[in-house]
Each structure stands twice: as structure tokens, then as C-alpha cells.
Amino acid sequence: MSAEGAEPGPEPGPLCPEHGQALSWFCRSERRPVCAACAGLGGRCRGHRIRRAEERAEELRNKIVDQCERLQLQSAAITKYVADVLPGKNQRAVSMASAARELVIQRLSLVRSLCESEEQRLLEQVHGEEERAHQSILTQRVHWAEALQKLDTIRTSLVGMLTHLDDLQLIQKEQEIFERTEEAEGILDPQESEMLNFNEKCTRSPLLTRLWATAVLGSLSGTEDIRIDERTVSPFLQLSDDRKTLTFSTKKSKTCADGPERFDHWPNALAATSFQNGLHAWMVNVQNSCAYKVGVASGHLPRKGSGSDCRLGHNAFSWVFSRYDQEFRFSYNGQHEPLGLLRGPAQLGVLLDLQARELLFYEPASGTVLYTHHGSFPGPLFPVFAVADQTISIVR
């Protein structure tokens, strides 16, 4: 056959740039095709792992086939998952969401029903107490009206004797005068009685208190942004830059400038914010400390010296929840009431309702009211803190 009629052969492959030979071998060490000269005794790939290029290509073809088969199986599995599993998942999600809604509605309905029942019960107690106080006052009005009438009759009788009787007649009326006087003396002066006062205890309800505390502390708008007044911080305490964390130190700081506001002995500190009316709440992280006090104090609390008048809970100017190791108690004016807690709270919520004259300590994690104090509070009141072990922090 002539050259003009010959069919063209395959295009020659790339040649080795160094030897100009076909790249018919594969160097596994350098991971590239090489020529026979490169793979020979004097070549650059001498001593490397060498195999024929077509064998390496066949190996790659087999890998591609295997990978394609795996991809086909994977695609089939995905198609089956999308067609068979996801619809079931979607149906189950819809079903579970519906059940979850029903559960939420059911539980909140029970809570709402309980709240309504408690509201009715408390309002009935308030009404009953109002009626009792009203009846007591009416009874007193009738009693004292009769007493006034009797005293007026006795006085009129005695005045009549005084003005119309002569000496002999007056002497003859001595027994009657004595009886009238004795009768008047039997009418005692009015005395203060709790029976005439409305008893505010009729509104106290453990359930309402827990719900109320949870609602106040569970709302960001219900908590105060409390910060420590650095002028009051004891030299045994270190205050963080954000003025929210107090750390106890056994060594007295020499850098604290003394001033009239600073506690110079007990490890106390007051907040910069004070309250005179309304409802206020804040939380304190106490999980790192085994010795602390948290509560409120009057601005009249003394600051200097080691006496009880400066020690929180030992005077009439401070009301505090305290922990020392595994002992918990509420302290005010030297009276310490032990609290039977099995473990220390990680966070301590404080609620101060000045209108209701109530101070409440609460554990947010469990919804437990730890202690409630009712009484009058002379304003202004400051959040107060003491720590004698590790750190405590105000939580926003």
C-alpha cells in the first residue's frame, strides 16, 4: 500500500523531556510517568519502585470502575432514603409536633386552671378576712356606742345629784353614788386589738410565691443591672473590672484608699443602686463559694470596726441569706434562722417587694423558695454582699 493510502496511526504520547523517549513506565516513588532511560541503572529513578505505565493505568481504570459502582450503590441508597425514609420521618415529625403542642396546651391548661383556682381561693380568703374585720369593727362600734350611752347616763345622774341634792340627801345617796362610780369604772378604755386589723397573711400562698418568683426572675426585664460600689468594697475583697464579681483574699489590700463608705473589717460590699419603693430582683452566682452572705442592707449600716453593728445579719440594718460550709440560714438583727437545705444553690435569686414589705430568696434552677421574710424596711435599701471563700458574681 502506498504511503498516501495508509491509515494514520495513533498520536504519539508525550516524551521524556530529558531523554526524548516514550513515558512507558511509572515511578511509584515520585508518583509520575517516566521513560525506560529514567527507570534504568543510570536514570534518576534508579532504585525506585517502578512498574509499567499500562499496568498503572489498568489499576486506575479498575479503581474508577469500583468507585463508579460504589457511587451507583450510594445513589441508589440515597434515592431509597429520600423515597422511603424521609416521608416517614416527616410524618413522624408532624405527628410528634402535634403531640408536643397538645402536651404544652394540656399542661398550661392545668397550670392555668390551678392558678385560677388559687386566685379564687385567695380572693375568697381576702373577702372573708375583710368581712371579718368589718364585722369586728361594727361590733366594736355597737359596743362603744352602748358604753358611751351608759357613761352619759351615769354622768347625767351624777351631775343631777350634784346640782339638786342637799348635803343630807347627798349622804343618803352615797351607796348609789358608789354603784354608779363602780359601774363607770367597769367600762374600760379602748385597747388596740389585732381583731380590728386586716390580716395580710390571708394572701400568702406557697404556690403563688413560687410562680411569682419564677415569673420575675425568668424575665430579663424583671432583673436589675446591679453593680458593686467600689467605694464600699472591703480591703479583703477584690472587685472585677465590670464591678460584678467579688473575690476573697486572706491578705488585706494595701492599695485600697480608706473612706467613710468602705467596710474596713468585715468582707462586705454594697451595690451602687438603692431602692425605696417598687419590686426589684437580681441573681447571684454563688456556686464557687462555701462562705458568703447575700441580701439587702440599709444605707445606715455602719462600715467601721469589727463589732456586730457592721456584721451582716447581726444588726437591725441588714437582712441576709448566708452560707458557711453546709450551714444555711437567714439572719436579721442577731436572730439566725437555720434553713434545712440538703445542698447549696448554684445561683441565688433575691426578690425585694417594698410595697408588700417582702424579701424573698429563691433558687432559679429548681424553682424553690428558700426563705421569705415579711417586715418593714427603712429605706433606702442596697443589695449587699459578703464573701469569705473564693468568689461570688452578680448575674444579669
- The enclosing domain of 268 has a CATH number of 2.60.120.920
One domain for residues 217 and 347: yes
Question: Considering the domain boundaries, does residue 228 fall inside one?
Answer: yes
DSSP string covering 212-237: HHHHHHTSGGGS----B-GGG--TTE
Question: Considering the domain boundaries, does residue 216 fall inside one?
Answer: yes
**CA distances to 82, 107, 109, 364 from 95, in Å:** 19, 18, 21, 33
The three three-digit cell numbers of residue 142, written as one number: 355597737
What span, in angstroms and rounded, lies between the C-alpha atoms of 353 and 169?
A: 69
One domain for residues 191 and 224: no
Q: Which of 145, 171, 196 delimits the end of a domain?
A: 196
Burial of residue 171 (CB within 10 Å: 0-12, 13-18, 19+) is: exposed
Chain CA centroid to CA 96, Å = 31
Taking the complete model, does pTM exceed 0.75, yes or no?
Answer: no
Write down the mean pLDDT value for the chain. Answer: 88
When computed from its CA atoms, the radius of gyration of the chain, rounded to whole angstroms, is: 46
The string of pLDDT tens digits covering residues 310-367 is 999 999 999 999 999 999 999 999 999 999 888 889 999 999 999 889 999 999 888 8
Question: Considering the domain boundaries, does residue 49 fall inside one?
Answer: no
Residue with cell string 479583703: 236
- For the chain, how many structural domains are there in total? 2
* 22 DSSP 8-state letter: B
The string of pLDDT tens digits covering residues 161-202 is 888 888 888 888 889 889 888 888 888 888 888 888 988 888
Question: Considering the domain boundaries, does residue 90 fall inside one?
Answer: no
One domain for residues 211 and 328: yes
One domain for residues 191 and 230: no
Lowest-pLDDT choice from 36-40, 156-160, 233-237, 355-359: 36-40
What's the whole-number mean pLDDT along residues 141-168? Answer: 90
One domain for residues 347 and 277: yes
pLDDT-based confidence at 219, cuts 50/70/90?
low
Chain CA centroid to CA 14, Å = 76
One domain for residues 125 and 162: yes
H or E element that contains 177 = helix 174-185
Q: Which of 196, 215, 234 delimits the end of a domain?
A: 196
pLDDT-based confidence at 6, cuts 50/70/90?
very low
One domain for residues 190 and 268: no
Question: Considering the domain boundaries, does residue 50 fall inside one?
Answer: no
Question: Considering the domain boundaries, does residue 172 fall inside one?
Answer: yes
Contact yes or no for 207/119 (Cβ under 8 A) = no
One domain for residues 244 and 282: yes
One domain for residues 232 and 155: no
Res 314: pLDDT: 94
One domain for residues 291 and 326: yes
Q: Which of 147, 169, 196 delimits the end of a domain?
A: 196
**Can you point out the beta strands (E) in the chain?**
25-27, 32-34, 50-52, 237-239, 245-248, 268-270, 279-285, 291-298, 318-324, 327-332, 335-339, 347-353, 358-363, 368-374, 381-387, 391-395
Which domain, by its residues, includes 317?
A: 206-394
One domain for residues 261 and 174: no
